[in-house]
Amino acid sequence: MTIQDKPVALVTGANKGIGLQTAKDLAAHGFTVFVGSRNLERGEMAAQSVGADARALQLDVTNQASAAAAADRIRNELGRLDVLVNNAGISHAGKPLKEIGKSGCASAASLDEVRAVFESNVFGVIAVTQAMLPLLREASAARIVNVSSEAGSLTLNSNPANPHRTMFGAVYSPSKTALNAITLAFALDLELTGIKVNAAEPGFTATDLNNFEGTLTVQQAARHPVHLALLDENGPTGTFSSVNGPSRGEPIISFKERNIFYGYS
């Protein structure tokens, strides 16, 4: 096992979109970055675009054995892990947003689709985080960032004034609600270790997750996850936030200061 001096980060689902840009930004901040990708060939192509300090890592977040093997490789090759960005996730790719809303409504949602989305967006985050925790616990100031979404906000989506509330169905949105809860669970569990765990809202970004109908660039979207990955010892833990704060420009707050996720339970 080799333990290198440079900090090491793992970004899941980093072969494209926000994950790839997050990997590039972390590399620019001096990290050696493992580019997690279910398809190794695509991961290798993405790693080449990140630069010399990037390594492709085969990782299927829905497969616990794959997560364990990825952790073993990181330990054997570099001997450390300082940052984990749980970016990998799926929605209803392949459909226009209006059709996504209709097919995901509670009265018509396919249970198979619900299970598939939760497998990636929720259970996958738990599996990967648990697999990487032995390495993260050994780091001096580890950080875990879960890429979430305002789509999971119960408060925002129960507000009749929210024009997007009709998109809150039984598939993608509840998976992000659950991810927010999982973020809190890990934050509380690891509170005394110094490991900070936060959820990031990257914004409505043009990626294949929404068939490129988003309004932000991946460069804009990656800024806040990277910011949370680089928090110093005075930074918060157990928060849901965007670059503008948890909700419409308010400052980042912790779970202890308000209700969970400022209503993002």
pLDDT digits (tens, 9 = 90+) for 14-68: 999 999 999 999 999 999 999 999 999 999 999 999 999 999 999 999 999 999 9
Q: Label residue 101 by pLDDT band (50, 70, 90).
A: low
What are the phi and psi torsion angles at 11 (to 5°)? Answer: -120, 120
To the query of whether residue 264 is one of the catalytic residues in this protein, the response is no
* Domains of the chain (ranges, CATH numbers): 8-263 (3.40.50.720)
Dihedral (CA of 258, 221, 249, 29) sign: positive
pTM: predicted TM-score of the whole model, two decimal places:
0.87
Task: Select the more confidently predicted residue: 122 or 163.
Answer: 122
Of 172, 186, 240, 264, which one is the catalytic site residue?
172
Tell me the pLDDT of the chain averaged across its residues. 85
176/251 Cα distance (integer angstroms): 21
67, 161, 250 from 62: Cα distances, Å:
8, 36, 34
Task: List Cβ neighbours of 248 (8 Å cut-off, separation of 6 or more).
Answer: none
Task: Select the more confidently predicted residue: 151 or 144.
Answer: 144
| pLDDT over 80 at 152, yes or no | yes
Mean per-residue pLDDT, 186-203: 94
Sequence-ordered alpha helix ranges (H) in the chain: 17-28, 40-50, 64-77, 97-103, 111-118, 124-138, 154-157, 172-189, 218-229
Q: What is the pLDDT of residues 115-144, one digit of tens each?
A: 999 999 999 999 999 999 999 999 999 999
Task: Select the more confidently predicted residue: 97 or 58.
Answer: 58
3-state secondary structure of 33: strand
